[in-house]
Amino acid sequence: MTTHSRIARKLALGALIGATLVTAGCASRGGDGPKDTAYVARDVETLYAEAKGRLDRNQPQLAAALFDEVERQHPYSPWARRAQLMSAFSYYVARDYNKSVASAQRFLSIHPGNKDAPYAYYLIALSYYEQISDVQRDQKVTEQALTALRELDRRFPQTEYAADARLKIDLVRDHLAGKEMEIGRYYERSGKWIAAQIRFQNVVENYQTTSHAPEALYRLTETSLALGIPQEAVKYAAVLGANYPGSEWYDKAYELVQDHAAGVTAS
């Protein structure tokens, strides 16, 4: 997902690059070979400005290497702290998300109370969020994104980063619920009714505010009838009707109960 990558770039540029000192005589070198990265000792201002210039010219991978070199060559300079976070941002722009996470986590391990810590947490969350794939694939990274977004909201609830995180949390939860539904439907098609019910119940219990909850209740109605427990089917249909009375899933559940469990009362 890349919904908010432009926001991330704007925030980082405004908060970090905009504050950068650009010194006279720090013109960038030509070419993209090893001589541009970091193998020649340079004063910290020139090296940092070179990295910034590469980022401005849409060469984020090279910029990240140069920001890393600022810290390597000048570890005790005030520029090193700024370069650590700019390295994380540059890797994020380059879509090298693992390195972005590693750089941001390194920044936090060294400067946990820094004023830019919220942004470092935000970069970590975004790096996981951008990797979320469709529901047919493993959802480990989706879980990592959810954990990181929640951690950001917990630590810095009043920041603009947390406000964006809360929006993304809802989307991630809907995605995870979709994965549960996809697995549940597979089990249902295979006649594995109990396994299917476990997945659908997980959606109802843990993702009840997502868009998948009405269908999950309908599927529980179906699987309960398949398991020969019409009382449970009536119960799920009733819950569906109480919470989603205008839903197509309630209409289908009502017809199903009328056809197969008429006269049965919920247990």
Q: What is the pLDDT of residues 85-110, one digit of tens each?
A: 999 999 999 999 999 999 999 999 99
- CB atoms < 10 A from the CB of 90, how many? 29
**pLDDT, tens digit, 9 for 90 and up, residues 64-84:** 999 999 988 888 888 989 999
Mean residue pLDDT of the chain comes to 85
DSSP secondary structure of the chain: --TTHHHHHHHHHHHTGGG----TT-PPPSSSSGGGTTSS---HHHHHHHHHHHHHTT-HHHHHHHHHHHHHH-TTSHHHHHHHHHHHHHHHHTT-HHHHHHHHHHHHHH-TT-TTHHHHHHHHHHHHHTT---TTS--HHHHHHHHHHHHHHHH-TTSHHHHHHHHHHHHHHHHHHHHHHHHHHHHHHTT-HHHHHHHHHHHHHH-TTSTTHHHHHHHHHHHHHHTT-HHHHHHHHHHHHHH-TT-HHHHHHHHHHHHH-TTPPP-
The whole-number average pLDDT for the span 122-143 is: 86
**pLDDT, tens digit, 9 for 90 and up, residues 201-239:** 999 999 999 999 999 999 999 999 999 999 999 999 999
Contact partners, residue 33, CB within 8 Å, separation at least 6: none
For residue 54, pLDDT over 90 is answered with yes
Structure confidence at residue 19 (pLDDT):
36
Question: What pTM does this model have?
Answer: 0.76
